[in-house]
Structure 1
């Protein structure tokens, strides 16, 4: 079953006066002679904020959204029905649906963007357009041009809206390098029982895994399983022989240090001999163009570590799904904008080889998005999350952290985490208490947000330089736990759809309440703390 949410579409003003514009060979007038009808059309389509930007600069980058957009949910639904009728395997069905969705998006873009692109090419030659890029995940362009070009584009009947290319910032995390080892508030007997459960699970992992089969070269050391990994009961799932093997995860982040000992052998761009093979299909740098995974910030390496990280010698068990493979897209630097995030989101839907061919079969199964903006209704990234879902890519988003401009409280959950198609994760501490910085629901659509919670206080994971660092705090640290759990579930039952993954994770969570949130689910903890053991057991029945 595909998660269904209808987008409210704004109807544009009548374009009767514009029918003289041919879709094949449009005629563009000079902006100085724009008719009153044309001026009205421009005003209706162009963001007021964007017009203000042109008052400060001759060339401005903006997004041009076309009216003709693909209903990816409907496309996926029909593709599933066709696959079911053909009685093909679940894996083949999932690939068929994903390929159908991507092809539909690409076909629509190719058929509807031609006249706009011809005009932009002409204006490049005239010096009025510095650069442009077309997208298919959203039928749109990113254009850097003069205001005259923008106004001319706005008069075209096939154009829906022209929007600013907004600047986006990574969710800032708090790092307490002096943080002490985490100690849970529990009785001595309970602490002993909890440690015994982990020790037993780790012993079972080592007993059943041969050196050749294991993701570990040596035995797992119980004392090096991080508290947060123990908290979500991942070691007990490993004891069942389930560690995420065969599943591909991804993050849209600051990049990943692929040479890190906790991550290197899990990168899909390395073969069994440790040689780099077709790196462009397992890594995309949308900001700096680096050919191999790298991370100058640390955020992306830390989040990826919590998803899949583990040393080869059995120490530093920092990840929930240490058997999974990873790929990554670097989208964040100080100048990140909407167009860069669209670029990264599109690549994940269908990684691109050296010849420009798109490969939907190499898309990840799950994607971590430990980033976000302000609260409130903003659907700029909604088509991306819808396309991911339709293509059976699980879209996890961090709920967001309090800032000076968003101090939290009801309805503060960040965008895009507040979108209906996003599965949002809030942060808890070692005692299962909601972190003070974790943003809360409901969403602008009246839905419970976040959907789920995971540890996000004093998290230790991999950081650049081949080392580890604790004391990291943020919903950015919580979200990767949910991604790791999704990977475990997909190994346990590969046929699970995105909707089914959500249902399993939510329904098997440990309900959490407090003096403010007295019933569950609620807009602080969602359905509660993820429980990897309960979730996996539920799909193995």
Structure 2
């Protein structure tokens, strides 16, 4: 009887170990007897250690330093047995690619079957899975740069009443915004003056690349809307930093290395990390295939550090009734949907009044502008707005920012479709169509600042005239430029009127 019990326990232990291995890795091992894998260690102890060590009243820099040190120490300890097994496999082609402390993981290429199963038996190993790759989709473009904008203010900026805060001297001073994207064309006239050069750029695909670039043209528009000058950015006096998480394809390791860099920015070789240089807001305009990437680990660390994450919800809804993309759907982030200039829902719209003006990147000039559409460009409006809020409310927490933004929105101007989603009436907020409502950053900031009132209307504060149409702005179908799953833009000869 005791013998049977022993056998049963042994089988249970083997099953528990193999359950740690993802279905895809199992399939890879069956076919090729090896697989590229991510070995994910249990990481909760690192957060517990950090919280125990952290002194009451610690500064933001001290908090991030404590968190990073705890994560690094825990990851080093956790990976010891895996490293030992790797070193003992003299004839194995398994190669450790990298260790990422922000998610307590090791990336290993060509791990053979026996080694993978040995890893799975280790109690410190939480899971073993195949690294994922996101894509930005096919790109169609032309070579004609749009004209400059002559400092006119983009309609989306006016719609959320950011210029009314500028008139009161609230422009994002002292705040750092960041994105994980395809990079940024730092030489563009709307972005060159507020790039923070010190610990302000990391390219994990090419670690010798010391200056920001953007060959694929997705990250530049996003950053321009967050903090660009020339009337295209919400917080024109905020500083920006960036990390290239996508080089057309977005490989998991490089995206995670970007998340790590933004938690504690470092120099190009990654050896020197300065917690005082962390951004206040991180924008992610992902959508397609992002659900396969394990974002939550990284998001939790950002939140622990006091960094506010903002993500696009994606554009897969049909007038609102669909699920948001991950990580925009995470309860740990501020997820952003997309409305047009008439305050109507606008997933993948072709109505020209919903297209945002932004700087171009890639092979275009440093004074070129285009129009773009999608939640990729809606999210940085919110990220820039948070920079404005933080510049007026230094040290505000995520919860304080979230309440301010969601409790002081515009709802009376919204034009919902004739339908409800999830049995919540479209006249009740929050709902499953418009969420809490449309952002109004002036109202959010003014709610806690006595005597802050709207200035009299001028060109900088008037809402967009929604009567602009294709006859004024050009033909959308001509010269259409698609970048990514949820960003499109069109180059126009006269972009100012749009």
Quote the offset at 1:367 in angstroms. Answer: 0.4
Q: Deviations over 1:236-270 (max 9, x none)?
A: 1001111111111100000001111110111100x
The size of the alignment, in residue pairs, is: 425
CA contact (8 A) 2:201 2:212 kept: yes
Residue matched to 1:168: 134
Deviation at 1:142, TM superposition (A): 1.2
| Deviation (angstroms), 1:344 | 1.1
1:456 CA displacement: 9.7
Structure-2 separation of matches of 1:110 and 1:285:
24
1:40 is aligned to 15
Candidates 97, 101, 106, aligned match of 1:132: 97
Instruction: Indicate the SS of the match to 2:433.
Output: coil
- Equivalent residue for 1:460? 357
Q: Supply the distance in 2 between the matched residues of 1:460 and 1:157 (Cα, whole angstroms).
A: 52
In structure 1, the partner of 2:443 is 534
**Residues 1:63 and 1:287: Cα distance change in structure 2 (over 3 Å):** same
Deviation at 1:321, TM superposition (A): 0.3
Shift in alpha-carbon separation, 1:429–1:391, aligned structure 2, 3 A: same
Q: Could you say which residue in structure 2 is the equivalent of 1:293?
A: 212
In structure 2, how many angstroms separate the alpha carbons of the residues matched to 1:132 and 1:47?
Answer: 19
Instruction: Give, in whole Å, the separation in 1 of the partners of 2:274 and 2:353.
Output: 34
The Cα of 1:176 is off from its aligned counterpart by 12
Q: Aligned in 2, Cα 1:285/1:411: closer, same or farther, shift over 3 Å?
A: same
Uncovered stretches (5+) of structure 2, i.e. residues with no partner: 1-5, 420-425, 451-498
What TM-score comes out, normalization by structure 1 length?
0.72
Tell me the CA shift for residue 336 of structure 1: 2.3
Structure 1: unaligned runs, 5 residues or longer? 1-15, 20-34, 84-91, 182-219, 270-277, 311-315, 439-454
* Aligned alpha-carbon RMSD (Å): 3.2
In structure 2, relative to structure 1, the CA distance for the partners of 1:391 and 1:37 (3 Å cut) is same
> Which of the numbers 61, 67, 71 marks the counterpart of 2:36?
61
| 1:105 Cα offset (Å) | 1.7
Deviation of 1:506 after TM superposition, in Å, equals 1.0
Contact 2:360–2:370 under 8 Å retained in 1: no
Superposition deviation, residue 149 in structure 1: 2.0
TM-score by length of 2: 0.78
**Aligned partner of 2:279 among 352, 358, 364:** 364
Structure 1 Cα separation of the partners of residues 137 and 401 of structure 2: 25
Q: Are residue 323 (structure 1) and residue 237 (structure 2) matched?
A: yes
* Structure 2 CA distance for partners of 1:408 and 1:127, relative to 1, 3 Å: farther
1:412 counterpart = 2:386: no
Shift of 1:171: 7.6
Q: Give me the whole-angstrom Cα distance separating, in 2, the residues matched to 1:253 and 1:426.
A: 18
The SS at the match of 1:100 is: helix
Q: How does 1:338-417 map to 2 (within 5 A)?
A: 338-353=252-267, 354=269, 356-373=271-288, 380-402=294-316, 410-417=321-328
Q: Contact 1:174/1:474 (CA < 8 Å) preserved in 2?
A: no
Aligned match of 2:56: 82
Partner of 1:521: 430
- Match 1:510 to one of 410, 432, 436: 410
State the 1:351 CA deviation: 1.3
Q: What SS does the aligned partner of 2:448 have?
A: helix
Alpha-carbon shift at residue 407 of structure 1 (Å): 6.7
Q: Render the CA deviation track for 1:271-321: whole Å, top value 9, x for unaligned.
A: xxxxxxx5xx211112233221000011100100001111xxxxx310000
Give, in whole Å, the separation in 2 of the partners of 1:409 and 1:57: 43
Q: 2:72 matched to which residue of 1? A: 106
Choose which of 373, 381, 400 in structure 2 pairs with 1:481. Answer: 381
Within 2, Cα distance between the matches of 1:263 and 1:98? 27
The Cα shift of 1:504 comes to 0.9
Q: C-alpha distance in 1, partners of 2:75/2:30? A: 31
Kindly tell me: are residues 305 and 318 of structure 1, through their superposed partners in 2, closer, same or farther at Cα, counting changes over 3 Å? Answer: same
Higher normalized contact order (CA 8 Å, seq sep 6+, divided by chain length): 2
Q: Distance in 2 between matches of 1:114 and 1:133?
A: 14
**Gap change, CA 1:523 and 1:128, over 3 Å in 2:** same
Matched residues in 1 for 2:260 and 2:82: separation?
20
The 3-state SS of whatever aligns with 1:467 is coil
